[in-house]
């Protein structure tokens, strides 16, 4: 019989994906760590919450009256008392043993704020291409880090130190979805917390067919521009705004994203807090690498 690991809980968010969440809970409820599982239902209209309550009464179910998007994870974190929390999307399951391994890493490294897991996709367990990008992070690796240093993460495939998450403010309520990790990652780094890719931690992703790619792209564009106005140098924020305006001449999604971002501009300016120089330098380093990679792809060269 497995001994539950009382150090770590698991928080999942879901919205109108009844079949996916039930399938994932079937695996998660059998994990040897026996973590407390919290599911935040974002106002689903397909009886997701009712099905969870009926089939998995041991799961802590939080029913939101509306779709809070990424910020729903905050509700899950608030209702647990473990020092560490793992996140999972409703189409993601953690591999047995990975949660305890994550807790061991947090115990051993007091500076570790967030650990990103390796993602295996589908029944064939193919490694998600993003893992190679994370593995090859150009950021300096400090002695003691359990893996490559990052300035971003995968919200549905990571574990976090609860105190660090809360100190950084969690996910802002306005983010909704699409690139919701960027602001939180920067704020964690600004507070001195490590974000690391740890391939020994493994999650399995079974991508849902229920997706709204266009809406996600609009929010992703908007959130990226809002992040620039909140944390980046003023000149960069202005350049990104002008670039999105130019793109919007022939891209409806960019036009919508720009309008949404500009509508929030007064609030963004009130909450503006430029990142420490060291964190900004790391962001620039990552952006330069991304630009070089795109240039190589355009030339047909391998990256």
Assigned domain for 61 exists: yes
- Measured distance CA(124)–CA(297) in Å, rounded: 27
Are 53 and 152 in a shared domain? Answer: yes
Q: Which of 155, 188, 205 is the last residue of a domain?
A: 205
Question: What confidence category does residue 297 fall into, taking pLDDT thresholds of 50, 70 and 90?
Answer: very low
Inside any domain, residue 303: no
Residue 68: per-residue pLDDT: 93
Of the listed ranges 55-59, 76-80, 289-293, the one predicted with least confidence: 289-293
Residue 167 lies in a domain: yes
Computed on alpha carbons and rounded to an integer, the radius of gyration of the chain in Å comes to 19
The pLDDT tens digits for 133-166 are 999 999 999 999 999 999 999 999 999 999 999 9
pLDDT over 80 (residue 294): no
Which pLDDT band, with edges at 50, 70 and 90, does 292 fall under? confident
Q: In this structure, are 220 and 156 located in the same domain?
A: no
Residues 144 and 249 occupy one common structural domain = no
The answer to whether position 266 is within a domain reads yes
| Residue 149 DSSP one-character state | B
Q: Can you tell me the mean pLDDT for 80-102?
A: 97
Boundaries of domain holding 151:
8-205
Task: Return mean pLDDT, the chain.
Answer: 94
Residue 302 inside a domain? The answer is no
At residue 293, the pLDDT reads 65
Q: Are residues 193 and 290 in the same domain?
A: no
276 and 131 share one domain = no
- Phi then psi for residue 57, to 5 deg, are -65, -20
The answer on pLDDT for 301 being more than 80 is: no
**In terms of DSSP bridges, do strands 194-205 and 92-94 run parallel, antiparallel, or are they unpaired?**
antiparallel
217 and 166 in one domain? no
What's the pLDDT score for residue 177?
Answer: 86
Q: Of 205, 234, 251, at which residue does a domain stop?
A: 205
The answer on pLDDT for 298 being more than 70 is: no
| pTM of the shown model | 0.93
Residues 129 and 201 in one domain: yes
Strands 126-127 and 112-121: antiparallel
Together in a domain, 243 and 96: no
Distance CA 287, CA 293 (A): 10
Task: Give me the DSSP letters along 105-140.
Answer: HHHH-TTEEEEEEEEEETTTTEEPTHHHHHHT--SP
| Residue 260 β-bridge partners | none
Q: DSSP state, 186?
A: H
pLDDT for position 76: 97
Q: Does any domain span residue 301?
A: no
Residues 69 and 158 in one domain: yes
Q: What is the CATH number of the domain that holds 188?
A: 3.90.550.10
**pLDDT over threshold 50, residue 176:** yes
The pLDDT value given to residue 145: 98
30, pLDDT greater than 90: yes
Whose CA is closest to 153, among 115, 188, 201, 104?
A: 115
Query: How high is the pLDDT of residue 252?
Result: 96
Q: Tell me: pLDDT of 303 over 60.
A: no
The reply to whether 96 and 134 lie within a common domain is yes
- CA 197 to each of CA 92, 133, 146, 165, 256: distance values in angstroms, whole numbers, following the listed order: 17, 10, 8, 17, 34
Look at the alpha carbons of 216, 219, 221, 224 in this order and tell me if their dihedral is positive or negative.
Answer: negative
Instruction: Classify residue 82 as exposed, middle or buried by CB count within 10 Å of its CB (0-12, 13-18, 19+).
Output: middle
Q: Give the Cα separation of 50 and 53 in Å (integer).
A: 5
Under the banding of pLDDT at 50, 70 and 90, the label for residue 302 is: very low
For the chain, the domain total comes to 2
When mean pLDDT is compared across 200-209, 239-248, 293-302, the lowest value belongs to: 293-302
* Average pLDDT for 275-287: 97
d(CA 9, CA 87): 9
Check whether residue 190 and residue 260 sit in a common domain: no
Does the residue 300 lie in any domain?
no
- 226 and 200 in a common domain: no
User: Is position 3 within any domain?
Assistant: no
The last residue of a domain, from among 160, 185, 205: 205
User: Cα separations (Å) of 159 from 7, 22, 87, 98?
Assistant: 12, 21, 6, 10
DSSP annotation of 41 reads E
pLDDT band for position 300 (cuts 50, 70, 90):
low
């Amino acid at each position: 019989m497995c001994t539950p690991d009382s150090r770590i809980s698991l928080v999942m968010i879901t919205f109108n994906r009844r079949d996916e969440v039930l399938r994932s809970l079937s695996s998660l409820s059998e994990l040897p760590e026996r973590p407390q599982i919290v599911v935040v239902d974002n106002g689903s209209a397909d009886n997701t919450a009712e099905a969870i309550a009926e089939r998995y009464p041991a799961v802590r179910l939080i029913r939101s009256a509306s779709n809070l998007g990424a910020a729903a994870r905050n509700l899950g974190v608030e209702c647990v008392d473990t020092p560490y929390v793992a996140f999972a999307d409703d189409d993601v399951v953690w591999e047995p043993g990975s949660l305890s391994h994550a807790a061991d890493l947090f115990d051993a490294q007091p500076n570790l704020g967030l650990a990103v897991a390796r993602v295996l996709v589908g029944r064939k367990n193919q490694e998600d291409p993003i893992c190679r990008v994370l593995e090859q992070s150009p950021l300096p690796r400090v002695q003691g880090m359990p893996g490559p240093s990052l300035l971003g993460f995968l919200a549905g495939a990571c574990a976090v130190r609860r105190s660090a998450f809360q100190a950084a403010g969690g996910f802002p309520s306005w983010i909704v979805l699409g690139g919701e990790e960027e602001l939180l990652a920067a704020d964690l780094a600004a507070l001195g917390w490590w974000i690391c890719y740890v391939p020994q931690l493994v999650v399995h992703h079974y991508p849902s067919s229920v997706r709204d790619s266009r809406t996600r792209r609009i929010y992703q564009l908007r959130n990226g521009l809002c992040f620039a106005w909140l944390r980046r140098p003023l000149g960069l924020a202005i350049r990104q705004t002008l670039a999105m305006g130019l793109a919007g001449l022939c891209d409806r999604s960019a036009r919508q994203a720009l309008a949404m971002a500009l509508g929030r501009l007064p609030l963004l300016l009130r909450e503006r807090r430029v990142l420490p120089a060291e964190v900004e330098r790391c962001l620039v380093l990552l952006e330069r690498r991304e630009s070089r990679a795109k240039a190589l792809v355009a030339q047909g060269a391998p990256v």
